[in-house]
Amino acid sequence: MDKLTIRQPDDWHLHVRTGSILKTVIGHTARQFGRAIIMPNLKPPVTTVAQALLYRQEILAALPPGSAFQPLMTLYLTASTPVEEIKKAAEAEHVHAFKLYPAGATTNSDAGVADIEAAYPLFAAMEKHGVPLLIHGEVTDAEYDIFDREKIFIDNKLSKLTQQFPALRIVVEHLTTHEAVQFVEAAAENVAATITPQHLLYNRNAILAGGIRPHYYCLPILKREHHRQALVKAATSGNPKFFLGTDSAPHLTSLKENSCGCAGCYSAHAALELYTEAFEQAGALDKLEGFASFYGADFYGLPRNSASVTLEKQPWTVPDVYTDTDVTITPLRAGEQLLWRLVGA
């Protein structure tokens, strides 16, 4: 197949930052996706409906002229989030979920929740009001190996959470392990998951083999090959519990190529091309539309997009960097060739 047309997709997990970085990256997402769930881990974090609506206005103002892209806002859950804010979020047209970061799990997560059980009253309110909970599923205790943190979180935290709140709508973000796939598959229909392009395409060799490659470093970290294969099988299965979420995370090149480089892969520049590559490798291009365009919208109770996008087999080379004034960002696959290209974008 040399050409593929699908319903316009959405990105159900996206970082766009703020200020000059936002202005540099937002056009990459807007040319491909109709909507995106916007992560709230700014400095300071987006913790209230009022803050989320202001952030939404900043994103809309940064869009290319004529863009129809719609940001779907989320709130950052903290130990001090008032229960009343959850009711406000449920009533707010443009707020679609709360995000749970275990404290210290990833970029700008220091304000996250240290004791998940202490947040149970908040989860009860989300369950009552039908507000989805988006979870970065890793433990952060120093005694646990970084490659095991997702599995331990599922075993010790998430299993108990889903039992305690059986009707709570949960998205387990950026799955990385075979065990996480099994958990989501076995859970009730109100539990779903997003999968990133880097976790579909790469195992941990991409970070470490032949030298440390910081632009493949993300959290949760890339895992062994059998975990990657489990993710590909889930994404291409046609199971509506699994849908697209890039977790595209723009960081300045100077902060990635650093003695203490930050976590996150910037993939928004070629998100659909990367997913198409992964699905083609699996012989499952016919499953891409459901994963990219249908299942996430269905889970969030939103209409599927009416527009379509087309990709063609048209090799192109990813730029080494994307720059704008004081911003320089190195993208995933910088300087390498991709075989698919989005047409007319």
Q: Is 17 annotated in some ligand binding site?
A: yes
Q: Is 263 annotated in some ligand binding site?
A: yes
Q: Is 215 annotated in some ligand binding site?
A: no
Which one is catalytic: 247, 286, 320, 326? Answer: 247
Q: Is 16 annotated in some ligand binding site?
A: yes
Residues 125 and 130: their CA atoms lie apart, in Å, by 8
Residue 326 a catalytic site member: no
**Cβ atoms within 10 Å, residue 276:** 24
Say whether the peptide bond before residue 44 is cis (omega within 30 degrees of 0).
yes
Q: Is 326 annotated in some ligand binding site?
A: no
Residues 240 and 233: their CA atoms lie apart, in Å, by 13
Q: Is 282 annotated in some ligand binding site?
A: no
**DSSP H helical segments within the chain, as ranges?**
19-30, 49-62, 83-91, 120-129, 149-153, 159-164, 178-186, 197-201, 205-208, 225-235, 253-256, 271-281, 288-289, 295-300
Residues 272 and 316: their CA atoms lie apart, in Å, by 14
Residue that has been written with the tokens 């952060």 in this structure: 140
Q: Are strands 308-317 and 322-324 parallel, antiparallel or unpaired?
A: unpaired
Q: Is 41 annotated in some ligand binding site?
A: yes
Q: Is 136 annotated in some ligand binding site?
A: yes
Q: Per the annotation, where are the binding residues?
A: 13, 15-17, 41, 99, 136, 174, 219, 247, 251, 263
Supply the residues annotated as catalytic. Answer: 247
Q: Per the annotation, where are the binding residues for substrate?
A: 15-17, 41, 136, 219, 251, 263
Q: Per the annotation, where are the binding residues for Zn(2+)?
A: 13, 15, 99, 136, 174, 247
